[in-house]
């Protein structure tokens, strides 16, 4: 399946592809396009838009796109829900984020400064999300 979002990925636009590929669609193909072209290109490519204003799989109420995808796909893994709190805190202006969120935000901002290509960001960031997920599964305390 094809998935599409706006270019310039940082937190949610990297976390969501990780979530999609690891738990929903292992053969997922991701496309990053200018913000004003997402829905046009989605129609052309037959792709599902995410993390863009107006998308079903976007921010809704207090939820970031990562949380929305977890809910829409009925994912119940407690470690994913822990990770969602970290992603939420790193991606939103939550006044009380979990402590781990600041580390993820710093990594995402740094990657945005050092890796221009969004697909390359995925290649470099997926191992980070794999590690965070493993920590969420193994650590008895936390978010």
CB atoms within 10 A of CB 93: 6
With 90 as the cut, is the pLDDT of residue 141 above it? no
With 60 as the cut, is the pLDDT of residue 142 above it? no
The whole-number average pLDDT for the span 112-124 is 96
* pLDDT computed for residue 143 by the predictor: 47
The whole-number average pLDDT for the span 65-70 is 98
Domain ranges (residues) in the chain: 2-138
Residue-wise pLDDT for 11-47, tens only, equals 999 999 999 999 999 999 999 999 999 999 999 999 9
How high does pLDDT run on average in the chain? 95
CB atoms within 10 A of CB 138: 8
Helix ranges, the chain (H): 12-23, 38-45, 65-72, 78-91, 100-114, 118-138
CA distances from 73 to 11, 48, 60, 70 (A): 20, 14, 15, 5
Report the alpha-carbon angle 70-13-29, nearest 5.
85
With 50 as the cut, is the pLDDT of residue 135 above it? yes
* pLDDT computed for residue 139 by the predictor: 82
């Amino acid at each position: 399946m094809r998935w599409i979002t706006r270019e310039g990925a940082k937190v949610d636009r990297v976390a969501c592809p990780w979530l999609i590929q690891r738990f929903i669609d292992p053969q997922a193909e991701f496309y990053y396009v200018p913000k004003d072209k997402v829905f046009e290109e989605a129609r052309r490519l037959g792709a599902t838009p995410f993390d863009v204003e107006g998308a079903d799989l976007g921010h809704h109420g207090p939820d970031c796109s990562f949380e929305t995808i977890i809910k829409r796909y009925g994912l119940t893994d407690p470690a994913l829900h822990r990770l969602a709190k970290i992603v939420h805190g790193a991606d939103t202006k939550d006044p009380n984020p979990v402590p781990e969120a600041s580390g993820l935000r710093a990594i995402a901002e740094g990657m945005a400064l050092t890796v221009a290509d969004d697909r390359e960001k995925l290649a470099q960031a997926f191992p980070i999300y794999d590690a965070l997920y493993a920590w969420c599964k193994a650590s008895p305390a936390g978010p």
